[in-house]
């Protein structure tokens, strides 16, 4: 383009001239500014243009969406809970530990061979002999009152009640109290009351073991005077009890903890190995005679959710509720001592899971597994677990399928069917005055013992 002055106009200058006409207040560019503007124009023309977003979510729009989305999701969840009953169980296990401790099934050591069975143990009776009752349901029984109703099918045979049995031939019940942890007081006495109020005393004897001398305790002195043939105090000597076992001389014999769980599990094994009989945890309240269970060998479920067993002397000793295990001394299933001579101190559920798998792998009939409610009715679903023993009745509400806590109600009926209530070491919690434990258990113990 040629101007009126005879020189050629640059495109940029032409553009500026047109802008000058539109905006007369703009100064005319000099030669240097023309070159500068031209370079700026070129650099800008070469730079890529940023594409505009087709959709931009404004904060107000996001708030509006969330305002309706969150209630909609909550409504869907509520509707789902109304029509469907969720069952969610999550457990995490270390893969290395599972491959090492759970999956391998090692062969038995040979102590189950007939030639190695103790002469004092009647294999035909305890393993292969006919049984009058069935204690293993084969079902999880998590629904409603199924477990409690099944416990009610196990009844005593009144025709076999014996009234005159020599002391050495009685069923020995063992329990243990760590005197260095807390003194033996009225709270611990309730287990003794539950035993003497529910068991058939002419065929039973309770032995209270301790790591210290309890003979000066006034409460225990009263029971020794009242039940001279049915009650005894003894001091436990772990190294002596371990003689002749795979644990003899092991440094693990001195292991203890603040709850008496580790040494308690070991003492349970040692006592049943040496003397046989039944183990009863001190934090238990017995609710009926254990005699119908004594023809079996079994462990007791910790809860209703899986194969978690109470520690037991799985040694042809009939393990009854709340770690209550009867049987004969040196029974041939007590090869657990061969298994526990290692570095681990897990003498509970894992030990018996391993033993159970080894038994069936060796084609040997395993011990039975008692349903959870026989001793641990507190460990299941919210709608069929026993109410919390340490809460007042008005805070526990209705129990089990709409059945109440009153005398003669659903809870009372269930307690007559099961064999015990395990309180899980909660010694610091008192029983509420007028609560179901006091009304349906404690007062009845006192009434029964006061009349004998």
Could you give the CA distance from residue 284 to residue 321 in angstroms, rounded to a whole number? Answer: 9
Over the stretch 343-374, which tens digit does the pLDDT of each residue have? 445 566 777 788 888 888 988 888 888 888 99
- Measured CA to CA, the distance from residue 432 to residue 243 in angstroms comes to 45
Cβ–Cβ < 8 Å for 440, 415: yes
pLDDT range class, residue 313, cuts 50, 70, 90:
very low
Q: How far apart are the first and last CA of the chain?
A: 131
Residue with the bigger pLDDT between 11 and 66: it is 66
Residue 172 has pLDDT above 70, yes or no: yes
Of 23, 6, 4, 7, residue with least CA distance to 15: 23
Distance set, CA 184 to CA 107, 115, 227, 233, 268 (Å): 44, 44, 18, 12, 19
DSSP, residue by residue, 280-347: --TTEEE-S--GGGTTS-EEEBSSSSSS-B-----SSBB-BTTTB--B-TT-TT-THHHHS-SS----
Determine the pLDDT at residue 401.
Answer: 76
Task: Tell me how far apart the alpha carbons of residues 124 and 344 are, in angstroms, rounded to a whole number.
Answer: 34
Please indicate whether residue 151 or residue 168 has the higher confidence score (pLDDT): 151
Q: What is the Cα–Cα distance from 144 to 98, expressed in whole angstroms?
A: 33
Q: Which fold has domain 109-154+164-377?
A: Spore Coat Polysaccharide Biosynthesis Protein SpsA; Chain A (3.90.550)
Tokens representing 80 are: 């789902």
User: What is the average pLDDT value for the chain, to the nearest integer?
Assistant: 78
Residue 149, classed as helix, strand or coil, is helix
Categorize the per-residue pLDDT at 287 as very low, low, confident or very high, splitting at 50, 70 and 90.
Answer: very high
Residue-wise pLDDT for 29-63, tens only, equals: 555 554 454 554 555 555 555 555 555 656 777 77
For residues 192 and 303, the model is more confident at 192
The predicted model scores a pTM of 0.74
Which position has the higher pLDDT, 93 or 332?
93
Domain ranges across the chain = 109-154+164-377
pLDDT band at residue 328 using 50, 70 and 90 as cut-offs: very low
Per-residue pLDDT at 330? 43
Structure confidence by residue, pLDDT tens digits, 100-121: 878 888 888 776 777 776 666 6
């Amino acid at each position: 383009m040629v101007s009126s002055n005879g020189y050629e106009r640059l495109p940029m200058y032409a553009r500026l001239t047109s802008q000058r006409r539109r905006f007369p207040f703009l100064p005319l560019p000099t030669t240097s500014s023309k070159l500068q503007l031209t370079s700026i124009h070129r650099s800008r023309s070469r730079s890529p243009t940023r594409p505009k977003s087709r959709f931009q979510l404004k904060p107000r729009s996001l708030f509006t969406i969330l305002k309706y989305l969150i209630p909609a999701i909550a409504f869907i969840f509520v509707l789902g809970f109304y029509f469907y009953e969720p069952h969610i169980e999550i457990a995490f296990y270390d893969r290395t530990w599972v491959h090492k401790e759970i999956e391998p099934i090692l062969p038995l050591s040979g102590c189950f061979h007939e030639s190695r069975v103790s002469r004092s143990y009647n294999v035909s009776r305890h393993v292969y002999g006919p049984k009058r009752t069935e204690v293993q349901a084969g079902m999880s029984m998590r629904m409603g009152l199924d477990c409690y109703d099944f416990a009610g099918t196990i009844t005593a045979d009144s025709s076999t009640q014996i009234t005159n049995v020599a002391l050495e031939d009685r069923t020995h019940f063992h329990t243990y109290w760590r005197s260095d942890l807390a003194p033996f007081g009225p709270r611990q006495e309730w287990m003794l009351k539950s035993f003497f109020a529910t068991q058939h005393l002419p065929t039973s004897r309770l032995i209270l073991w301790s790591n210290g001398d309890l003979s000066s305790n006034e409460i225990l002195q009263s029971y020794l005077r009242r039940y001279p043939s049915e009650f005894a105090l003894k001091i436990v000597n772990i190294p002596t009890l371990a003689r002749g076992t795979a644990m003899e001389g092991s440094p693990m014999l001195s292991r203890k903890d603040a709850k008496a769980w580790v040494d308690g599990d070991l003492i349970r094994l040692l006592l049943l190995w040496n003397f046989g009989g039944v183990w009863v945890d001190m934090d238990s309240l017995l609710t009926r005679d254990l005699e119908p269970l004594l023809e079996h060998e079994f462990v007791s479920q910790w809860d209703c959710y899986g194969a978690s067993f109470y520690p037991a002397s799985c040694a042809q000793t009939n393990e009854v509720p709340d770690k209550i295990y009867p049987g004969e001394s040196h029974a041939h299933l007590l090869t657990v001592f061969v298994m526990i001579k290692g570095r681990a101190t897990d003498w509970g559920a894992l030990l018996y899971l391993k033993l159970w798998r080894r038994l069936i792998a060796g084609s040997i009939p395993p011990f039975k597994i008692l349903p959870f409610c026989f001793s641990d009715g507190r460990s299941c679903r919210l709608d069929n677990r026993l109410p919390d023993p340490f809460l007042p009745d008005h805070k526990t509400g209705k129990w089990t399928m709409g059945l109440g806590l009153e005398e003669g109600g659903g809870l009372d009926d269930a307690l007559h069917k099961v064999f015990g209530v395990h309180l899980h070491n909660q010694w610091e919690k008192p029983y509420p005055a007028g609560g179901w434990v006091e009304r349906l258990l404690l007062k009845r113990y006192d009434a029964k013992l006061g009349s004998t």
